[in-house]
Amino acid sequence: MRDKYIISGKGPFGEEFVTSGGVKINEVNFKSMESLICPGLFFSGEVLDVDGITGGFNFQHCWTSGWIAGMAVSKLNH
Ligand SMILES: Cc1cc2nc3c(=O)[nH]c(=O)nc-3n(C[C@H](O)[C@H](O)[C@H](O)COP(=O)(O)OP(=O)(O)OC[C@H]3O[C@@H](n4cnc5c(N)ncnc54)[C@H](O)[C@@H]3O)c2cc1C
């Protein structure tokens, strides 16, 4: 409760917005977001190796890939 912290500066904004790396995009069917390596496994968002500059591109990728994956999964025969 009584800890004191000295502010030495701000974080390096511009470098930490998105994880660089993840599942290789050439291993994924972008029409369904299904793995080409492991059928039945779907990906979306930051787990994929998609690295957009700031400005909403990463958000858009997460929302769009999530929607595509969700639609594809909903059409699977259970
Ligand atoms: C500081 C910062 C600023 C950013 N600014 C921008 C920006 O301006 N524009 C932009 O486009 N992008 C920005 N991003 C990137 C963007 O926020 C991410 O790319 C995006 O939110 C990733 O979405 P996601 O759904 O893939 O993952 P996440 O949003 O990380 O969602 C993953 C979810 O899974 C949950 N989870 C984890 N493990 C488990 C488990 N075992 N069981 C159940 N749930 C689990 C987590 O709690 C989390 O809710 C920023 C990121 C950071 C860190």
The model's pLDDT over 15-52, given as tens digits with 9 standing for 90+, comes to 567 787 899 999 999 999 999 999 999 999 999 999 88
Q: What is the whole-number distance in angstroms between the Cα of residue 46 and the centre of ligand 1?
A: 7
- The reported pLDDT for the residue numbered 65 is 97
How much of the chain is in helix, strand and coil states, percent to nearest 5?
30, 10, 60
Q: Where are the beta strands (DSSP E) in 1-78?
A: 28-29, 34-35
- The reported pLDDT for the residue numbered 30 is 96
- Tell me: pLDDT of 73 over 80: yes
Q: What is the whole-number distance in angstroms between the Cα of residue 2 and the centre of ligand 1?
A: 32
| Phi-psi category of residue 68: left, alpha or beta, with phi > 0 → left and psi -120 to 50 → alpha | alpha
- Tell me: pLDDT of 78 over 80: no
- Tell me: pLDDT of 12 over 70: no
pLDDT band for 60, please (50, 70, 90 cuts): very high
- Residues 66, 67, 70, 74, Cα dihedral to 10°: -170
19 lines ligand 1 (CB under 6 A): no
